Amino acid sequence: MTSIAEYMTTQHRCCDDSFVAAESAVSDKNWDEARSQWQTFCNDLESHLQNEEQQLFPAFEQITGNSAGPTAVMRMEHEQMRAMVSDMNDALEQQNGETYLGLSETLMILMQQHNMKEEQILYPMTDRVIADSAGLIEGLTDL
């Protein structure tokens, strides 16, 4: 059986791959490829965030009775990422590689720090407190 940590970490890596591909295409000024990879990243990221916000976090909060702890921090960081994605959408639409790549660097750092907290703390905690992780995983959307 796949654990929540394994399943969600795989989603992180999927997002990372399309993010890097979009960044590479922008660096090469291959705007069609950049838009395609960026759209894949945006779709995968939003699906992942929705999985967490609508399935994983509520299940964790219900069992632990704590909605002001790690899940609150993760939701705040999700909003920060969404704001940066919006700014990067604008830069990509304008084919402004310099702005896009600057924002990309910042978003990459934010995502790495965020993912590390989830992968090393939140997901293992969730695996420990949710007895039916297989049932929860079935409700999540694959990327």
What is the overall mean pLDDT for the chain? 92
Q: Does residue 38 sit in helix, strand or coil?
A: helix
Cα–Cα distance, 52 to 59 (Å, whole number): 10
Contacts (Cβ under 8 Å, ≥6 apart) of 54: none
Domain ranges of the chain: 4-138
Closest-CA residue to 31 (of 77, 81, 94): 94
108-130 average pLDDT score: 94
Cα–Cα distance, 33 to 10 (Å, whole number): 23
Cα–Cα distance, 56 to 125 (Å, whole number): 11
Q: Which amino acid is at 62?
A: Q
Rounded percentage of the chain residues whose pLDDT exceeds 70: 90
111-135 average pLDDT score: 86
Predicted model pTM:
0.89
Determine the CATH number of domain 4-138: 1.20.120.520
pLDDT in tens, 45-98: 999 999 999 999 999 999 889 888 899 999 999 999 999 999 999 999 999 999
Instruction: Measure CA 20 to chain center.
Output: 14
Contact 100, 85 (CB under 8 A): no
- H or E element that contains 56: none
pLDDT tier at 137, thresholds 50, 70, 90 = low
What phi and psi, each to the nearest 5 degrees, are found at residue 26? -65, -45
Contact 45, 85 (CB under 8 A): yes
pLDDT tier at 135, thresholds 50, 70, 90 = low
